[in-house]
């Protein structure tokens, strides 16, 4: 790429949202004829950077230069007019229109005011041929094709606009292996024609397969820009995950966390080859009473999917689940809850909070659901439980009748934790219980988890922060590309050990 000027040059980009610095002085360059991967964990700022480039968000600071001219796009349409096209994870085309209509939507060639359909077809066929997608019938209805083909049509549409920059945001997350290859061959065709491609994916194998260069972000800051060939997987993972040094300093060393031997404890749950098509495969592990099992893996590796299978939120279609020695097929969350399993979702807002109800109602929801609607938890008991847990978990503000949506993220998380603790579960599955909450609340929650396990409750702990998983767990199950690849006892293993497993090529 020596000598060529970057087609996109972003310097010192900063964007702040209320309470959060989403991007902090990030530099990013994109050269013509390269596939550039943008990497980082959840909340690292990848989407924000893309949205800054495409004019969805206004930047607070920094400069964006496109094709040598300083620009600031006010709307995505302006960015598109300058040759920057974005294809999102969810195909945003019109499924009930034909392929050719989708490719030329809004730019149909006209003759005497009416759409010139023959010309529409010719142009659509032309662009499909260029992408070696001649086998797609331009007259067919878009929704009759697989997601993969729809995504390729979206790319064809972008090419028809003569995009100089093509942004692909998680394009492969719903594709199977063959479809990914098809997409990659199109990407390579475009790259060879000089298009600059920004590729966002959480599948590391794919990043290594298709990208020439990568930029890593973490917590809204630039970690660095690297040539793919020069950065080994291990190096990449540690750059993505990093260590929160200041966070570590504030944490007390959890005292006597690991009880030396848990094998004498009763077995609570055993998963053997548990899986679900399109979700996660080959989940095999055991959980004993009082044990904390950590699930490690990168974003999209299948951590949440595993939790949902164990909770009956999704039904497993492969493998076997044994609870307390009896084989069980969990058909719904209700059936899992009846077996003593609780699950706190990573998605607080959509899957946890009942925003318009009070803290009290949210706290007793799971308990009440277990009793059925007829047997209402008496008001006195509600008050007593609410007071006890608000005090024990230091929930603020401490008013029972505050609407839960008015609480901060950390306090909402505590309420959701309490919702399950009230039901006295045998196994508590926590998906990212500490994400997006301040360091104080984080420490409180981690301590709570340790003390619950010490009292005999089993915990499955999921976090994107490997550091945290290592600190809390007794054993660690490692997931990679939606498969479980290892189950390691946590004695004196280091982050590097786990990273090696995550990085291992096709275990």
- Rule CB under 8 A: which residues touch another protein? 311, 313, 332-334, 337, 343, 345, 350-357, 361, 365-366, 368-377, 419
Least distance to another protein, CB of residue 343, Å: 7
Q: H-helix or E-strand containing 101? A: helix 99-104
Nearer to another protein, 31 or 311 (CB): 311
Residue 230 or 356: the one with the smaller Cβ distance to another protein is: 356
Q: Which is nearer to another protein, 296 or 404 (CB)?
A: 404
Q: Residue 272 pairs with which residues in a beta bridge?
A: 320
Distance CA 380, CA 392 (A): 18
Burial 399-432 (b: 16+ CB within 10 A, else e): ebebbbeebeebbbbbbbbbbbbbbebbbbbbbb
Instruction: Give the nearer residue to another protein in terms of CB position, either 152 or 429.
Output: 429
Nearest distance from C-beta of residue 161 to another protein, angstroms: 35
Q: Closest CB to another protein among 342 and 501?
A: 342
Distance CA 160, CA 163 (A): 7
Q: Which is nearer to another protein, 150 or 306 (CB)?
A: 306
* DSSP letters spanning 217-236: EETTEEEEEEEGGGS-HHHH
Q: Which helix (H) or strand (E) holds 284?
A: strand 280-288
CB nearer to another protein: give 128 or 310.
310
C-alpha neighbours within 13 Å on the C-beta side of residue 477: 25
Q: What is the bridge-based pairing of β-strands 61-66 and 35-39?
A: unpaired
With CA atoms as reference, report the closest residue to 57 among 70, 66, 48: 48
Question: How many C-beta atoms lie closer than 10 Å to residue 506's C-beta?
Answer: 8
CB of 96 to another protein, least distance (A): 18
Nearer to another protein, 410 or 425 (CB): 425
Closest distance between another protein and the C-beta of residue 398, in Å?
21
Beta bridge partner(s), residue 431: 462
Nearest alpha carbon to residue 10 among 61, 46, 52, 63: 63
Q: How far is the CB of 270 from another protein (least distance, A)?
A: 23
- Shortest Å, Cβ 365 to another protein: 5
Distances (CA, A) of 201 to 46, 223, 253, 335, 498: 10, 17, 35, 35, 21
397 prior amide bond cis, ω within 30: yes
Q: Which residues, 6 or more positions from 448, have their beta carbon under 8 angstroms from its beta carbon?
A: 393, 417
Please identify, using beta-carbon distances, which residue of 254 and 369 lies nearer to another protein: 369
Residue closer to another protein by CB (options 193, 334) is: 334
Nearest approach in angstroms of CB 364 to another protein is: 9
Smallest gap, in angstroms, from Cβ of residue 340 to another protein? Answer: 12
In whole angstroms, how close is the CB of 200 to another protein at the nearest point?
26
The rounded distance, in Å, linking the Cα atoms of 70 and 83 is 14
User: For residue 22, is it left (φ>0), alpha (ψ between -120 and 50) or beta?
Assistant: alpha
Give yes or no for a contact between 393 and 359, defined as CB atoms under 8 angstroms apart: no
Nearest approach, Cβ of 471 to another protein (angstroms)? Answer: 27
Q: Is 173 exposed, middle or buried (0-12, 13-18, 19+ CB in 10 A)?
A: middle
CB of 330 to another protein, least distance (A): 12
d(CA 343, CA 484): 20
Q: Tell me whether residue 216 or residue 366 sits nearer to another protein (CB atom).
A: 366
């Amino acid at each position: 790429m020596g000598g060529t000027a970057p087609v996109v040059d972003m310097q010192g980009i900063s964007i702040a949202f209320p309470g959060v610095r989403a991007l902090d002085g990030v530099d990013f360059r994109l050269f013509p004829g390269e596939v550039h991967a943008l990497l980082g964990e959840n909340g690292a700022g990848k989407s924000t950077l893309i949205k800054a480039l495409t004019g969805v968000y206004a930047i607070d600071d920094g400069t964006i230069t496109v094709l040598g001219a300083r620009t600031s796009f006010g709307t995505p349409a302006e960015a598109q007019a300058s040759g920057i096209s974005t294809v999102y994870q969810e195909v945003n085309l019109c499924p009930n229109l034909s392929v050719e209509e989708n490719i030329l939507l809004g730019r149909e060639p006209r003759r005497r005011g009416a759409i010139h359909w023959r010309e529409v077809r010719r142009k659509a066929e032309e662009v499909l041929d260029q992408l070696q997608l001649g086998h797609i019938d331009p007259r067919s209805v878009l929704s009759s094709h697989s997601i993969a083909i729809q995504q390729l049509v979206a790319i064809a549409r972008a090419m028809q606009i003569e995009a100089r920059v093509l942004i692909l945001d998680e394009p492969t997350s719903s594709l199977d292996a063959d479809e990914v290859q098809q997409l990659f061959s199109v990407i390579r065709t475009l790259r060879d024609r000089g298009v600059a491609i920004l590729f966002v994916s959480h599948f590391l194998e794919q990043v290594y397969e298709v990208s020439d260069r990568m930029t890593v972000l973490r917590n809204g800051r630039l970690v660095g820009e690297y040539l793919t060939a020069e950065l080994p997987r291990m190096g990449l993972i540690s750059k993505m995950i990093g260590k929160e040094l200041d966070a570590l300093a504030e944490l007390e060393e959890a005292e006597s966390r690991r009880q030396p031997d848990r094998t004498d404890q009763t077995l609570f749950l055993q998963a053997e080859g548990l899986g679900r098509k399109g979700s996660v495969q080959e989940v095999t592990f055991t959980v004993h009473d009082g044990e904390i099992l950590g699930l490690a893996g990168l974003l999209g590796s299948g951590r949440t999917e595993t939790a949902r299978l164990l909770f009956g939120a999704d039904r497993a279609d492969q493998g076997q689940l044994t609870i307390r020695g009896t084989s069980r097929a969990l058909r719904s969350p209700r059936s899992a809850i009846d077996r003593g399993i609780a699950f706190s979702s990573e998605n607080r807002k959509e899957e946890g909070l009942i925003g318009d109800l009070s803290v009290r109602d949210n706290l007793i929801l799971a308990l009440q659901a277990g009793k059925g609607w007829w047997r209402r938890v008496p008001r006195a008991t509600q008050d007593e439980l609410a007071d006890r847990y608000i005090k024990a978990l230091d929930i603020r503000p401490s008013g029972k009748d505050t609407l839960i949506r008015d609480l901060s993220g950390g306090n909402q998380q505590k309420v959701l934790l309490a919702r399950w603790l009230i039901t006295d579960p045998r196994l508590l599955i926590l998906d990212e219980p500490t994400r997006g909450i301040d360091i104080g609340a984080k420490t409180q929650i981690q301590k709570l988890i340790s003390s619950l396990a010490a009292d005999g409750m089993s915990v499955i702990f999921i976090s994107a922060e490997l550091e945290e998983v290592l600190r809390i767990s007794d054993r660690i199950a490692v997931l990679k590309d939606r498969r479980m690849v290892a189950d390691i006892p946590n004695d004196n293993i280091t982050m590097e050990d786990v990273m090696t497993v995550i990085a291992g090529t096709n275990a």
